[in-house]
Amino acid sequence: MLSIVLCRYGRDMTIWPALLFVPMTEDKCITDSPAGCTQRAYLHLERDVEFTDPPYTPSHIALMVFDPDEVTRLVGLQPTKAWRSGDPISGTSRLRRFSSWKYELPEVHNYITEEVVVPLLDAIEPYADGIDTACRTLGMRAGIMVVITMHGDRNTDDGEPHVSTAAITYTSQTLRRLARLGLAIEHDQYVFLPD
């Protein structure tokens, strides 16, 4: 089994200097502590182009435009979120600069990232041929984004904040499934510490 586990701990850290690592034991972190971890995963298709970081030039933005309805037709799966370049951004007067197509499962409270990714793979694998067709026909790439949100708590003994981090772990079977689908996988992590 291939395991990748990311943990942040120690007072020397520059990002979260007061963060202390608390082992994720069943009795301490999950059931006795209000600290927690939620995760959600989604499949996304986007233009297969490489850019530098924003701000994007108008010619870069033009390359990010596509018709999400055409992606849906080719993939055969109804997206949970999709928009076109130029669509209004809800609640604002701004317009979307580029297009998007996503199929997302609901957020879950879970520390084990593989347990969030596997149900998404189960849902999208029947559409593997359509994903491949959309990527080849429209010049796109497909990937999975896992959004991990960790909330810290204060230690009742010394008042120091602590966060139990997600275990980003994948078996070789899951990695093979990702490879067969031609999917990249990314992890977007957020840590919220108490005041």
The DSSP code sequence of 123-190 is HHGGGHHHHHHHHHHHTEEEEEEEEEEEE-EE-TTT--EEEPPPB----HHHHHHHHHTT-EEEEEEE
Q: Is residue 110 part of a domain?
A: yes
Phi, psi of 84 (to 5 degrees): -105, 155
Q: Are 85 and 97 in contact (CB under 8 A)?
A: yes
Question: Is the pLDDT higher at 2 or at 155?
Answer: 155
Q: Is residue 179 part of a domain?
A: yes
Q: Is residue 93 part of a domain?
A: no
Q: Is residue 38 part of a domain?
A: yes
Average pLDDT over residues 151-163: 81
Average pLDDT over residues 125-153: 95
Domain containing 170: what range?
20-50+100-192
Q: Is residue 77 part of a domain?
A: no
Q: Are 89 and 96 in contact (CB under 8 A)?
A: yes
Residue 97 reports pLDDT greater than 90: no
Q: How many domains does the chain have?
A: 1
Q: Is residue 154 part of a domain?
A: yes
pLDDT score of 195: 74
Q: Is residue 141 part of a domain?
A: yes
Average pLDDT over residues 97-105: 94
pLDDT score of 17: 24
Q: Are 163 and 152 in contact (CB under 8 A)?
A: yes
pTM to 2 decimal places: 0.77
Q: Which residues contact 2 (CB under 8 A, 6 or more apart)?
A: 170, 171, 172, 175
Average pLDDT over residues 30-36: 52
Q: Is residue 73 part of a domain?
A: no
